[in-house]
């Protein structure tokens, strides 16, 4: 398993289930170190593990995009 560190304090996160995944703010993450994280919740910038991103996914919800997708599949 890979090691993850809290972006608030830099400490090692022992319970990945208690992590708060957030969009990066204007502040920089603290440099990682070997001490344990004591933050509640621990903060990690970025999407949670297993999160799938697909550029344009929201565009597929529009009827015109669905029609184009179907038409492209028929060709």
CA–CA separation, 50 and 53 (whole Å): 10
CA–CA separation, 59 and 46 (whole Å): 22
Please give the C-alpha separations between residue 67 and each of 20, 71, 74, in angstroms, as whole numbers: 38, 6, 11
- pLDDT at residue 25, rounded to an integer: 76
When the pLDDT of each residue in the chain is averaged and rounded to a whole number, the result is 77
Q: List 45's β-bridge partners, or say none.
A: 22
Which tops the pLDDT comparison, 51 or 20?
A: 20
pLDDT for 22-38, tens place per residue?
887 777 888 999 999 99
What contacts 36, CB < 8 A, 6 or more positions away?
11, 12, 14
- pLDDT at residue 9, rounded to an integer: 94
């Amino acid at each position: 398993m890979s090691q993850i560190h809290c972006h608030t304090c830099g400490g090692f996160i022992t319970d990945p289930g208690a992590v708060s995944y957030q969009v990066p703010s204007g502040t920089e993450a603290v440099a990682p170190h070997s001490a344990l994280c004591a933050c509640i919740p621990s903060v990690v910038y970025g999407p949670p593990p297993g999160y799938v991103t697909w550029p344009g996914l929201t565009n597929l919800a529009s009827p015109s995009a669905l029609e184009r997708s179907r038409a492209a599949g028929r060709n």
